[in-house]
Structure 1
Amino acid sequence: MRATFHLKTLTVAIAAFSVASVASAAGLDRSGQDVTAFFQDGVYAEAVYTYIDADVSGRDNAFNGDSNTRFEEGNKTGDIAEDYDFFRYGAKADINDTFSVGIIYDEPFGAAAEYTGDSNFTGSPTVAIDNLIGDRVTPLVPNVTNAQELSNYVNELPGNLATARAGVTQLQGALQNTTDPAIQAQLRGQITTLQTTIARGEAALPTLTAFDNYAEAQLANTQTTKVEVRSQSLTGLLGAKFGANKEFQIYGGPVAQRIEAQVRLRGSAYDLATGYTSNSNPDMDYGWIAGMSYSKPEIALKAALTYRSEIDHNIDITETYPLAGLLAGDLAAATQTNDYEITTPKSVNFDFQTGINPTTLATAKVRWVPWGDFAITPPLYNEVSKNNPLYEDDGLNLVEYEDDQWQVELGLAKRLAPALAVSGSIGWDSGAGDPTTSLGPVDGYYSVGLGAKYNVTENWAVSAGGKYLWFGDAQGALPTGKIVVDAEDNDGFILGAKLSYQAKQGF
């Protein structure tokens, strides 16, 4: 006969897991959208703080050619990942022995990355500008192959045209003063040659001046590549228990979600997109959550399957894309404000725990997020990309992922004393594909974690925990597929702290 493990004896151990237990490297996933606070008994409330310090660095691509897949080790990027923190708050109460209500605040999606080293992601985009001049200007003026030569040519061209016009005037005067047919024919030929040169120069001058101004503006931009995405989510929950012993529960409710983002692309790595900047204003939209749980208190068993819907955001975005002004011949065209949609992904979470003996608890978490369906497609960025014949039908996304994310975490908690428990965990995150976006070159992780909880009083407790992450090696690519960074041997750590309150309810 199996022993009975009353839930009360494991109360300390249960909550030791929920500090720093989830922090995802795939896509924009951050909090893991945990709802386990809703499954606690009685009246329950918690406040959780999580801090992430990731070290993600690599080498840029020194290869400057047409191949998207060829990679030659270049300069160090420095630490790309910025420190990141977020909060989670949760509260629930039982209305009676059937119905429960709860509310959870978290910050589900986010990103914080900046290239600060001396690499192709920072400083003057010399290679990108010289490549543009080679593609667009050199066919018009064969002796111009880089930005400096273009600047010299444009500066000298008005004077050269003035000299040519004066030469035409001089030759026309000489033509009028001679009656020799041979000399007249020679002078007419020289006049025609100079006039042709003048016409070509005058026709090319606006285009060459526009390219020169564009090149000078971009080469003067010494900022870094940087991205920041922030989100907040508020989830309302109503649960109803059923079954002979109220062992089953269905639950669900509305979700309000707010998201905002800022992106700037700099350096030669982004080729003609260098100088691109966007600001996506905060937008609030709504979705829903639903799930079902099962519990068997005598062995401290709880299992829950939770589904969250997609949420469609219609966002106001201001984009500055210097290439757009060059292509349109109008500087004003480089900055536009539009609406566009971002759909944050649906997800499925499975949470499980069971007692092994009266003082030991085992847990498991599984999470699935279909990042392969997610994309960020700013309107101006997408429209400019259509100027490339390869992408003229649909254009390019700014951010996209190849694969869906799977995350698994297994843990064990042990009550050492009536008020103290410790826990340990191991985890795996599949990542969202390799190559991935250059704004986050990480392909999942492996992790180990430790946590502890101390009951200060019968109702109040504090918890603390940490986790060490080994990030998967990944190459970062542009939306065109060109590999621009290779990140290897990276790691990070997570620290968390929680204050919780729990009290019985009698019905």
Structure 2
Amino acid sequence: MKKALLQACALCVGASAVHAGGIDRSGQGINVIFEEGSVVQFRLGYTSPSVTGTMLGVDSGEVANNFFTPHLAYKRAINEKLDFALIYDEPFAADVSYGAGYPLSQNPIPGGRTDVLRAKADTDAITALLRYKFDGGFSAIGGLRIQRLSANVAVPAAAGYEVDADADTALGYVVGVAWEKPEIAARVALTYNSKISHDLSQTESLNPPPPAPGGFVASFDTNSEVVSPQSVNLDFQTGVAPKTLLFGSVRWVDWPQTVYDPPNYPPANPLVDYDDPTWTYSLGLGYQFNEQFSGAVTLGYEASTDEPVSNLGPTDGFWSIGLGGTYSLEKAKISAGVRYTDLGDAIADGAGPGARATFEGNSAWSVGFQITYALN
């Protein structure tokens, strides 16, 4: 069995994944640390979601915007026992906007400023990892992650409210353990990603209610703490027949840690919060057709919480199917994949009791491309 080909095939399908849980984008994978020798790796995914809903009989329009998920990594084998990796990704993000007629896009203040319900949040992370190999196939993994977060949110129904948060950079860490048996292409890796706390400097603004003139905008410079959540990844693979690899993963994300509650946001509830963590599962099968080409199919699933969700993330669970392939050259492995995701139906918080939004029949298509180039 050609271990490298089948590993790359598993990576290919994962490269085009879309994670519905919260605002999860990259899955915070570290598989490059297991590549043989020294390599550089580039991956780019593109997702086109179709998410629509209705509130009080008004259509939301296409809510979720298309997005890219970049990944760049460098891995070096320092010696037979020690490996180093440097990884760039965008682990969490949001980009949603609603139609102008949607109830939450309407400013209730007469003559107040106009906008639409929208949210954009971005994170960039660089992770530096070390892996030390013990006897018996065991290894320990540890490192630091530096992360940059920025956000802008508008909720016109809350007195024309908008918050614009400057970018903040903060530090977290990654620890893990792994076990490998190369003879059967077996590997199990368990990694923990710490939460990262950001202290956001932000400008909040809104239209005060009458008797202030409707066009008057009050502005406040404030601070809020926002936490990107801790998570645990379990990744596994093993050969199950000649030229055949079974692989999969389990990911837990502690979303209740993520609360965004700017001090001047008019409603009593936070602008962003989550009731439940998410569990995301994937299972795939890869096959090596010849010395150059491998293919794989993978299934994904995330259980719904059956709780009301935010309009800024109006899906609840998903299932997915993906196809991918890898072509190997002398020093490069070139992978590509496509994935279809059926996004779970959701009930979103509304403008009051009986005014919740319903999101049904939504989906997403994703494609991904990856190249891994050997440096030695």
The two structures share one fold, judged by TM-score above 0.5: yes
Alignment partner, residue 144 of structure 2: 254
Alignment partner, residue 428 of structure 1: 301
What is the correspondence of 1:369-408 to structure 2 with a 5 Å cutoff? 369-381=253-265, 384-385=266-267, 395-408=268-281
**1:277 is aligned to 2:162:** yes
Q: Supply the distance in 2 between the matched residues of 1:327 and 1:88 (Cα, whole angstroms).
A: 52
Q: 1:13·1:413 contact (CA, 8 Å) conserved in 2?
A: yes
Q: Supply the distance in 1 between the matched residues of 2:178 and 2:347 (Cα, whole angstroms).
A: 40
- Paired residues in the alignment total 374
Alignment partner, residue 82 of structure 2: 99
Q: 2:309·2:315 contact (CA, 8 Å) conserved in 1?
A: yes
Cα deviation, residue 479, structure 1: 9.2
Q: 2:13·2:297 contact (CA, 8 Å) conserved in 1?
A: no
RMSD: 2.1
Shift in CA distance, 310/327, structure 1 to aligned 2, threshold 3 Å: farther
TM-score (normalised: structure 1): 0.70
Shift in CA distance, 481/236, structure 1 to aligned 2, threshold 3 Å: farther
Alignment partner, residue 334 of structure 2: 462
Whose strand proportion is higher, 1 or 2?
2
Q: Supply the distance in 1 between the matched residues of 2:8 and 2:31 (Cα, whole angstroms).
A: 10
Residue by residue over 1:216-236, the C-alpha shift from the partner in whole angstroms, topping out at 9 and shown as x without a partner, is: 225xx2x32111111011000
Alignment partner, residue 27 of structure 2: 32
Cα deviation, residue 476, structure 1: 0.8
Aligned match for 1:242, one of 134, 149, 160:
134
Q: 1:26·1:430 contact (CA, 8 Å) conserved in 2?
A: no
Greater mean deviation of Cα atoms: 344-353 or 333-342: 333-342
Code of the aligned partner of 2:222? N
Query: In percent, how many aligned pairs have the same letter?
Result: 30
Alignment partner, residue 367 of structure 1: 251
**1:346 is aligned to 2:219:** no
Aligned match for 2:97, one of 96, 114, 118:
114
Q: Supply the distance in 1 between the matched residues of 2:319 and 2:84 (Cα, whole angstroms).
A: 35
Q: Supply the distance in 1 between the matched residues of 2:132 and 2:7 (Cα, whole angstroms).
A: 23
Cα deviation, residue 86, structure 1: 1.9
Aligned match for 2:348, one of 476, 486, 501:
476
What is the correspondence of 1:109-258 to structure 2 with a 5 Å cutoff? 109-116=92-99, 118-122=101-105, 124-125=106-107, 129=108, 214-218=109-113, 221=114, 223-243=115-135, 245=136, 247-258=137-148
Residue by residue over 1:79-112, the C-alpha shift from the partner in whole angstroms, topping out at 9 and shown as x without a partner, is: 1111011201122111111111111111000011
Q: Supply the distance in 2 between the matched residues of 1:328 and 1:117 (Cα, whole angstroms).
A: 25
| Local SS of the residue matching 1:298 | helix
Q: Which has the larger radius of gyration?
A: 1
Cα deviation, residue 439, structure 1: 1.4
Residue by residue over 1:279-327, the C-alpha shift from the partner in whole angstroms, topping out at 9 and shown as x without a partner, is: 111110001000000000000001100001111101111111213x658
Alignment partner, residue 368 of structure 2: 496
Question: What runs of 5+ residues in structure 1 fail to find an aligned partner?
Answer: 63-73, 130-213, 386-394
Whose helix proportion is higher, 1 or 2?
1
Cα deviation, residue 264, structure 1: 0.9
What is the correspondence of 1:83-94 to structure 2 with a 5 Å cutoff? 83-94=66-77
Residue by residue over 1:111-168, the C-alpha shift from the partner in whole angstroms, topping out at 9 and shown as x without a partner, is: 111112643244x54xxx3xxxxxxxxxxxxxxxxxxxxxxxxxxxxxxxxxxxxxxx
TM-score (normalised: structure 2): 0.94
Residue by residue over 1:29-57, the C-alpha shift from the partner in whole angstroms, topping out at 9 and shown as x without a partner, is: 11111111111121122100011111000
Q: 2:186·2:237 contact (CA, 8 Å) conserved in 1?
A: yes
**1:47 is aligned to 2:42:** yes
Q: Supply the distance in 2 between the matched residues of 1:241 and 1:258 (Cα, whole angstroms).
A: 31
Q: 1:398·1:479 contact (CA, 8 Å) conserved in 2?
A: no
Code of the aligned partner of 1:217? G
Shift in CA distance, 376/106, structure 1 to aligned 2, threshold 3 Å: same
Code of the aligned partner of 1:250? A
What is the correspondence of 1:439-450 to structure 2 with a 5 Å cutoff? 439-450=312-323
Shift in CA distance, 327/498, structure 1 to aligned 2, threshold 3 Å: farther
Residue by residue over 1:430-470, the C-alpha shift from the partner in whole angstroms, topping out at 9 and shown as x without a partner, is: 25553100112100100000001111x21112111011011
Q: 1:20·1:50 contact (CA, 8 Å) conserved in 2?
A: no
Q: Supply the distance in 2 between the matched residues of 1:459 and 1:491 (Cα, whole angstroms).
A: 37
Q: Supply the distance in 1 between the matched residues of 2:311 and 2:91 (Cα, whole angstroms).
A: 21
Question: What runs of 5+ residues in structure 2 fail to find an aligned partner?
Answer: none
Cα deviation, residue 353, structure 1: 0.6
Shift in CA distance, 313/433, structure 1 to aligned 2, threshold 3 Å: farther
Question: Where has structure 1 moved over 2 Å in runs of 4 or more?
Answer: 116-119, 325-333, 430-434, 478-484
Alignment partner, residue 356 of structure 1: 240
**1:11 is aligned to 2:4:** yes
Q: 1:76·1:117 contact (CA, 8 Å) conserved in 2?
A: no
Q: Supply the distance in 1 between the matched residues of 2:152 and 2:231 (Cα, whole angstroms).
A: 24
Code of the aligned partner of 1:105? Y
Q: Supply the distance in 2 between the matched residues of 1:305 and 1:375 (Cα, whole angstroms).
A: 27
Alignment partner, residue 319 of structure 1: 204
Cα deviation, residue 372, structure 1: 2.4
What is the correspondence of 1:277-316 to structure 2 with a 5 Å cutoff? 277-316=162-201
Alignment partner, residue 82 of structure 1: 65
Shift in CA distance, 326/338, structure 1 to aligned 2, threshold 3 Å: farther
